[in-house]
């Protein structure tokens, strides 16, 4: 199956333009399935493309049964999704007729409400980088832009210089599936970004004319992992006692917009969600907050 997996990985990277994170997770899941096949169905595993059709839903169910107790439902559901995507690709290539993972029931995944920061916590976090050195100015710009626009971290680090229109106060963002969208940013984010861009040349290495907006110390495009470490640093400095990733700034953006009366479909457009149902999870957060206020305030609650 090794060659089949490599072909699929090429498809993910170059045709689907999947993110590094998505590709890494899908391939890890598929190599785990491949190891299971070598152990339990060696003849099929070594049969190449012609043997793919011998993998049926009973084999897939048998594989999933080995995961229960070792993996949580969300992880198992993702591994099943990886298999469905893999076989869907090979159906398109004409190697198999049916998708053996399609009719296998997805484990019920408990709904988890998105974590978010309060407005006061966001203010404390954004006020963390207050020095005049280039890295502090860059860090403030990154966090201001994330909170002002609700960008994913991958979208933030993927911004290019020609994606920024400070005059109009908008960013051209390349989201999932290489879908472009225009996202507005507020005055504070515009100011922070303008301050950074005025000093950005300090990070460009000798002869390194990168088009990336946000650069690391070496003058290369900053990575999502570096952004995560940066956010953790300022969280610690601000004394916020919460487990927070950069994605929480995206959740906070959506939650605060909704609590302030923003239209759900407008938030969907800003976040780049394909489905409104994905955006609707923020209504649960808003409702929870409403119920909390009611219980604390109503004399008969």
Residues with catalytic function: 152, 176, 247, 250, 273, 282
Residue 228 structure tokens? 């995560």
**Residue among 80, 65, 95 nearest 29 (CA):** 80
80 in Cβ contact with 106 (< 8 Å): yes
| 228 CB neighbour count, 10 Å cutoff | 15
Compute the distance between CA of residue 185 and CA of residue 136 in angstroms, rounded to an integer: 20
165 beta partners = 170
């Amino acid at each position: 199956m090794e060659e089949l997996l490599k072909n699929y990985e090429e498809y993910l990277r170059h045709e689907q333009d999947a993110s590094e994170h998505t590709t890494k997770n899908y391939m890890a899941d598929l190599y785990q399935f491949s190891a299971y096949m070598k152990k339990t169905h060696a003849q099929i595993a070594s049969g190449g493309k012609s043997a793919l059709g011998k993998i049926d839903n009973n084999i897939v169910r048998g594989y999933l049964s080995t995961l229960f107790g070792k993996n949580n439902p969300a992880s198992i559901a993702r591994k099943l999704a990886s298999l469905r995507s893999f076989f869907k690709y090979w159906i398109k290539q004409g190697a198999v007729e049916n998708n053996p993972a399609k009719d296998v029931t997805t484990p019920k995944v408990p709904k988890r409400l998105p974590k978010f920061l309060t407005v006061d916590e966001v203010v404390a976090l954004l006020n963390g980088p207050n020095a005049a050195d280039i890295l502090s100015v860059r860090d403030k710009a990154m966090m201001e832009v994330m909170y002002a626009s609700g960008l994913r971290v991958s979208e933030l680090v993927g911004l290019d210089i020609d994606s920024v229109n400070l005059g109009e106060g908008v960013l051209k963002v390349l989201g999932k599936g290489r879908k472009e969208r225009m996202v507005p940013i507020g005055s504070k984010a515009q100011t922070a970004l303008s301050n950074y861009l005025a000093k950005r040349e300090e990070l460009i290495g000798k002869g390194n004319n990168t088009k990336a907006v946000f650069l690391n110390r070496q003058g290369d495009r900053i990575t999502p992992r570096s952004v995560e470490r940066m956010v953790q640093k300022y969280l610690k400095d601000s004394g916020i006692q919460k487990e927070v990733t950069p994605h929480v700034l995206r959740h906070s953006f959506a939650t605060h917009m909704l609590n302030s009366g923003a239209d759900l479909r407008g938030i969907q457009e800003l976040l780049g969600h394909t489905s409104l149902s994905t955006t609707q999870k923020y209504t649960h957060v808003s409702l929870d907050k409403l119920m909390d206020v009611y219980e604390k305030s109503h004399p008969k609650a």
